Structure 1
Amino acid sequence: MRALLVVNPKATTTSERSRDVLVRALRSEVDLTVAYTRRRGHAVQLAKEAAAEGIDLVVTLGGDGTVNEAVNGLMAAGDKADNRPGLAVVPGGSTNVLARAVGMPRDWADGVSVILEALREERYRRISLGLADDRHFTFSAGLGLDAEVIRRVEQARHRGRTSTPALYLRSTVAQYFLETRRRPPPVTLERPGEQPETGLATVIVQNVAPWTYLGDRPVNPCPDASFDTGLDVMAMRELHLTSTTRTARQILAQQPNPRGKRVLNLHDLETFTLRSECPLAFQLDGEYLGERDKVEFRSIPDALRIVC
């Protein structure tokens, strides 16, 4: 088996020494080539070239952004999962939502052990993906408040701050109270054959649960989201302090169940469109992608084979 290891050299939980250990371990099972990302978007190019060259497996070492880029590169090859290289994810970032969603251990060394065992047993899992306009995502997307928080965190990281749960919490509070537009609600959700859902202040889209983690605690706006179904949506119709606080508590609960008059829950959607009266912050898989006033979403079933 031929494999490509795509390494983000800025991965937060690994060192150069641990990367060397990972390379040796993988080379005990596969014919391995190693490539290091040099810029944002580079992993897309590397994965696309690997697929064109007939590589059987792409392994990522990095965070969710590196995984998302590799997935988009792989999806450019072939029209079926069996015609694309498989994917293996070594957790190397601060959150690693996809890796944890498919049952990988948080520790990178334990994750490598699971991958090696799965390769020996030829064990793969097929997962669905979401598509937002022309970009695929593995676990989440958002238009509004959550994307504004991610933008704020990325700005802090550019200033040298380390990505931690505390940074996300502080950024959320600061964004909500200091910058987020509370009214009028600007977003409309449109579905084929259904009446539009209007007056939405912020929208979260999930392809699997949880949406993200705060350390060890899962954050679950759409607890029924699954790789085996379509896309799920949780939207808030307003961002008043009382209702927002109540919803935040619900999605952080041990048995999350976000409900209420000001909350919209939709499950297993194949396709829908979000339109905003003004451009809003937009994120995919925890990466800020600028502002959008329209995004078309689609669920892509059985899109990718993942080693786990």
Structure 2
Amino acid sequence: MRALLVVNPAATATSARTRDVLSHALASDLKLEVATTEYRGHARDLGRLAAQDGETELVIALGGDGTVNEIVNGLLHDGPDPDRLPRLSVVPGGSTNVFARALGFPNHAVEATGVLLDALREGRERTVGLGLAAGPPDSDDAGVPPRWFTFCAGYGFDAGVIGRVEQQREKGKRSTHPLYVRQVMRQFLKEPHRRHGTITLERPGEEPVEKLVMSIICNTAPWTYLGNRPMYAVPGTSFDTGLDLLGLSKLTPAAVSRYGTQLLTSTPERGPHGKHAVSLHDLSGFTLHSQVPLPFQMDGDHLGLRTSVQFTGVRRALRVIV
């Protein structure tokens, strides 16, 4: 099988020696080409070229969720076509690796490589659904190009946390879970709309849901991890269904304590719930509008401020090796 290994040299959890060992292991079973990313968006360019060359059968991401997201957007540059596009697989190399772990890979690069090689020998693969976000027509964000996401997106509070983490990383801080926790507290103290939300959720044929402070859009479960602890924003979320959404209409200290505790103790059967929580399952399409520009993130990548985002759940978008 002809394969492309896309290596992010800045990945948090792998060393140059580890990456070299893994590439040699993969080359023993594959006709392997190795490409190292050199700039933001490079993995997307490599994924697009792999989708267009007609020869590459598999693209393997060695990096974190951001690297995976870029490759997916490159592979699907011309739209989803599972029967034509190369398969995707992941060797986790980031700090959290939600997508890889949701597919069932160990959160350790060497162990995951072993699982990947076994999957290739046994022909194990599945087709997963993905999320697509774009600027709605007739909005201030109409010109924003569509972008795919693999496991989650966020609009409002949680995207603000991601933005703060990225600012700290640009200053040289490592992406650790204590860093995320500190930025959650700082975002809460600075959040101007925590008592009166500005987000409205609109769905075809349904009444709008208004005054949300934050919204988390999930394509799989868990939503994320705190260390090794999985957290489930909306139980039942799956790569085989549409998108799920958790919205909160208040972030007072009492609400943060309540819903934070519920997230930390969430299970595949039970997530955050209460009078200020909105939980929706298996949505094919919806739009979020805000009265003021709010931060927006996809797969842990902060994408700036938006006043509106249109979401679509696309089933059977891409084949993955598992």
**What TM-score range do you get, normalising by the shorter chain?**
over 0.9
Question: Helix, strand or coil: the match of 2:6?
Answer: strand
Write out aligned runs for 1:103-118 (5 A).
Answer: 103-118=104-119
Deviations 1:107-126 (A, max 9, x none): 10000001111111111111
CA distance in 2, matches of 1:261, 1:19: 48
Question: Helix, strand or coil: the match of 1:228?
Answer: coil
CA distance in 2, matches of 1:171, 1:160: 15
Work out the number of aligned pairs and report it: 308
CA distance in 1, matches of 2:186, 2:303: 20
Maintained 8 Å contact 2:195/2:249: no
How far off its partner does 1:257 sit? 2.4
The 3 A distance-change label for structure 1 pair 79 and 154 is closer
1:249 aligns to 2:257 (yes or no) = no
Q: Structure 2: which amino acid aligns with 1:198? A: E
CA distance in 1, matches of 2:260, 2:65: 23
CA distance in 2, matches of 1:119, 1:271: 34
The 3 A distance-change label for structure 1 pair 184 and 299 is same
CA distance in 2, matches of 1:182, 1:254: 23
Question: Helix, strand or coil: the match of 1:19?
Answer: helix
Matched-pair identity in %: 52
How far off its partner does 1:63 sit? 0.5
Write out aligned runs for 1:1-308 (5 A).
Answer: 1-54=1-54, 55-77=56-78, 79-133=80-134, 134-255=146-267, 256-308=270-322
CA distance in 1, matches of 2:14, 2:181: 24
Maintained 8 Å contact 1:77/1:84: no
Name the counterpart of 2:137: none
Give TM-score, length-normalised by structure 1: 0.98
Question: Helix, strand or coil: the match of 1:265?
Answer: strand
How far off its partner does 1:183 sit? 4.1
Q: Structure 2: which amino acid aligns with 1:29? A: D
CA distance in 2, matches of 1:140, 1:180: 24
Q: Structure 1: which amino acid aligns with 2:133? A: A
CA distance in 1, matches of 2:77, 2:85: 9
Maintained 8 Å contact 1:7/1:61: yes
Question: Helix, strand or coil: the match of 1:51?
Answer: helix
Structure 1: state its 5+ residue gaps: none
How far off its partner does 1:181 sit? 2.8
CA distance in 2, matches of 1:272, 1:42: 30
Question: Helix, strand or coil: the match of 2:83?
Answer: helix
Maintained 8 Å contact 2:266/2:272: no
Structure 2: state its 5+ residue gaps: 135-145
Deviations 1:85-111 (A, max 9, x none): 000100000000000001000110000
Aligned residues: CA RMSD = 1.1
